[in-house]
Structure 1
Amino acid sequence: MIDSLITEMPGYSEGWLLALSGWQYFQLGLIVVIFIVGWYFSRPGQIKKEITDFRRIFLITAFWVFRGIFLVGLALWVLGVLGLNVSEFFGTPVVTIAQEVPISPFFLLTLVVGVYLLFIFNRLIKRLVIKAAEKWRFDRNIGRQLRRFAMLLLFIVLGNVWLKLAGSFMLNIFNDQLFSVNDVAITPGILVYTLLILYGVALGIRLIEVIYTRHILSKGLNMGQSKTVFQLLKYALWVVAIILLLDSIGLNITVLVASSAALLVGLGFGIQGLFNDYISGLVILFEGLIKVGDVVEIESELVGRVMDVGLRTSKILTRDNIIMVVPNHNFVSDNVINWSYNERRTRFYVDVGVAYGSDVRLVEKLLIESAIEQREVIENPRPFVLFRDFGNSSLDFRVYFWVEEVFYVEILKSKIRFSIDDKFRQNGVQIPFPQRDLHLKSGWEKLDRKE
């Protein structure tokens, strides 16, 4: 019943697997059971660990020799059951799918061996990377990218061999036209080729970035400027790679741009803001207005450290330890303070008011002490105090101080204010609040009569 259903499937062509008798099926099943049992009981792991090294090596070798003889014996048994010699067994299709794909033992063997080689090669490269990193202080990131690139090349080689062994059916699938662009047929094979090339370019650029970063760190160069240079290099490499890729598949980049000019104009009006961000990103990268590591303050009172400068957006780490993605046009169109452009020292201040009648010299002394006792404040130049004004309800002072790290200056200001409040309380200096005196010169007589 099952055999009749299988043979009636569209495109079915019988191989030797479905042409066997019941007795042959029984013998093959028995061989499979014997193989599983024999392989399980011939594991080298069953050797006791207490055995000396020489005997252990001898027994392990004996186990593998037994396995080899065992496999050869089973293989000869299979050939005897099928009535085939070795070349006929590996070359004769087990079954043929869609009348075009012959699935032979040799085809299956190449597939299994290919996957096994990928697995073994991956483990081997991984071990070599770990040993190289320990011996030569090699950056594991470089090794990881090299391993991925080597695996990609091996996958391409093995995939090419496997496709040739698969026959004309698989090759026809990869050569079938999906659509065309400028009279160039786009097939599944071209799409796979494009994806592999793009993946290889991405791995190559990542490898270059890791090596470049390591070189910058070893030379002690400015990381921010170096990151900006590499961003420009990365985009240039991508442009060159895409142009070469399009040329390799037969697409003329000039004709492609000319034919899509009207579409680009239409899209330009619809996504004008997006193009604005890209142009702003190019301006930032070429002019070096903002670099990785800079502390910036945007007009919206957003203060943060630049973590990454991209072509469309930039990433900023705020004082709240939150990474914000900021469109690049904000850095070009808004007023931006780049605190890292200043000298190594930057001056800040804290305002405070005291009650009328306070000892102003004592206030000056306490303000300077409150600032200078903070470890973040630089002692030279020394903090100083300005008596700014006679306010409506207070004497207004401002204490100035210098710091080198501006990113968390608001926390420092808060600490100084806490210290000022403590010292004022200890020395009887009062911080006033707005109050008004009301003087009534007339009107009391009428109020008294009503009462």
Structure 2
Amino acid sequence: MTIEQAIAQIKAVLSYNVMTVSDQLVTLGDILFIPLLIGIGLLLSKWLIRLISKRLRNKKTDPNVIHLVERILFVIAITVIIISILDFINVPIAAFAFLSGAVAIGFGFGAQNIINNFISGWILMWERPIRIGDFLEVEETKGLVEEINTRSTRIKRVDGVHLLIPNSKLLENTVVNWTLVDPFVRCSVTVGVAYGSPARKVAELIMQATTEQTEVLKEPKPVVTFDDFGDNALMFQVTFWISSQAESGLRISKSNVRFRLEELFEESDIVVAYPQRDIHIDGSLKLIKSEVQAD
């Protein structure tokens, strides 16, 4: 068999009519060529999206805007690939109008949650009530947003565990976004000192311990209040603001203030109060001495 004969046989096999769609013949060669077109289209799409994303990052564009642009370009690329494949095999799009409508109805009833999360994901990326890098509190979970996908949002919890939260849950439930408008967070530290301590001096030391911390903002200014005459102590509280992207910043700032307070109180001989109780006994006490007899 010559090369010309082999090529002729291959062409004959590839020209075999597999189906007819709207009076258009779909050959075996067309069907085999579809995966190649899909592969080339996806590779070109990923390369183009990566190139555009790189240029946007070089211009220091908001990561949330870059993420939204990537999703939109990906959807456009998939649409172009599908239309190109149909055009290549000479199948008009109108031929799938009725079939696609029936499939869409059946798919809609069977995948309501998936569609709900998909639409919610686009709303999150478009309106941006939640952005990449935000610190969220969802029910009893706190964490940093790492990625917003079309179906779910990935959050890194404060203990390092990654969570996938459905997008619909973020829109339908109450979500606390600590950094929606700005990263400023208010903190407070409460301390009780023993009765007899100079209250004004205690307030001055608390203010000094707070303002010495570099992470404490100058505006709004820290405020020290004499809260109450407690059961065992004079209660004071200082309120201050810091700039923090996570809950760990609050704990560290409070700890720094407490460390400094302990040093200042020790220098000024001010005692941090501890629980005390006075016990009054009516009547008299009688001591009973027990004797243990050896066998």
Q: TM-score, normalised by structure 2?
A: 0.74
Using a 3 Å threshold, how does the CA distance of structure 1 residues 200 and 344 change in structure 2: closer, same or farther?
same
Aligned counterpart, 2:272: 431
1:401 aligns with 2:240: yes
Q: Indicate the residue corresponding to 2:197 in structure 1.
A: 358
Q: Is 1:168 equivalent to 2:9 in the alignment?
A: yes
- Asked if 1:295 corresponds to 2:135, the answer is yes
Per the alignment, residue 333 of structure 1 pairs with: 172
Q: What residue number does 2:293 align with?
A: none
Q: Per-residue deviation at 1:309?
A: 1.2
How far did 1:312 drift?
A: 0.5
Deviation per residue, 1:311-360 (Å, 9 max, x gap): 10122234445443322123212222223323354332233333333333
1:310 has 2:149 as partner: yes
Quote the Cα distance in structure 2 between the aligned partners of 1:175 and 1:430. Answer: 96
**8 Å CA contact 2:142, 2:158 repeated in 1:** no
Rg larger for: 1
More helix by share: 1
Deviation at 1:303, TM superposition (A): 2.5
- Map of 2:115 onto structure 1: 275
Q: Which amino acid aligns with 1:342?
A: V
Which residue in the other structure is 2:258 paired with? 417
What residue is the counterpart of 2:217 in the other structure? 378
Quote how far apart the aligned CAs of 1:281 are: 0.9
Please give the alpha-carbon distance, in whole angstroms, between the structure 1 residues aligned to 2:15 and 2:269. 88
Unaligned runs of 5+ in 1: 1-14, 16-90, 94-99, 103-164
Instruction: Indicate which of 257, 266, 278 corresponds to 2:100.
Output: 257
Q: CA RMSD in A?
A: 3.9
Equivalent residue for 2:38? 198
Which structure carries more relative contact order (alpha carbon 8 Å, separation 6+)?
A: 2
Q: Are residues 214 and 187 of structure 1, via their aligned partners in 2, closer, same or farther at CA, if it must alter by over 3 Å?
A: same
Question: 1:73 maps to what in 2?
Answer: none
| Separation in 2, partners of 1:378, 1:204 | 49
Summarize the alignment of residues 152-191 of structure 1 with structure 2, pairs less than 5 Å apart.
165=7, 168-169=9-10, 172=13, 177=18, 189=29
The separation in 1 between residues aligned to 2:15 and 2:139, in whole angstroms, is 55
Supply the AA of the counterpart residue of 1:274.
I
| Structure 2 letter corresponding to 1:432 | A
Name the CA distance, whole Å, in 2 between partners of 1:430 and 1:193: 84
Q: Is the 8 A contact 1:378 1:404 kept in 2?
A: yes
Gap change, CA 1:214 and 1:432, over 3 Å in 2 = same
* Greater alpha carbon shift after TM alignment, 168-177 vs 218-227: 168-177
Identity of aligned residues (%): 27
Q: 1:363 to 1:303 in 2, by over 3 A?
A: farther
Q: What CA distance in whole angstroms lies between the structure 1 residues aligned with 2:33 and 2:278?
A: 86
Residue of structure 2 equivalent to 1:349: 188
Quick one: distance in 2 between partners of 1:323 and 1:226? 22
Residue 182 of structure 1 deviates from its aligned partner by: 9.6
Equivalent position amino acid for 1:280 in 2? S
Q: What is the DSSP-based 3-state SS (H/G/I as helix, E as strand, rest coil) of the residue aligned with 1:347? A: strand
Cα separation, 2, equivalents of 1:183 and 1:431: 91
Paired residue type of 2:265? F
Going from structure 1 to structure 2, the CA distance change for 1:224 and 1:173 (only over 3 Å counts) comes to same
Q: Which amino acid letter does the alignment assign opposite residue 376 of structure 1?
A: E
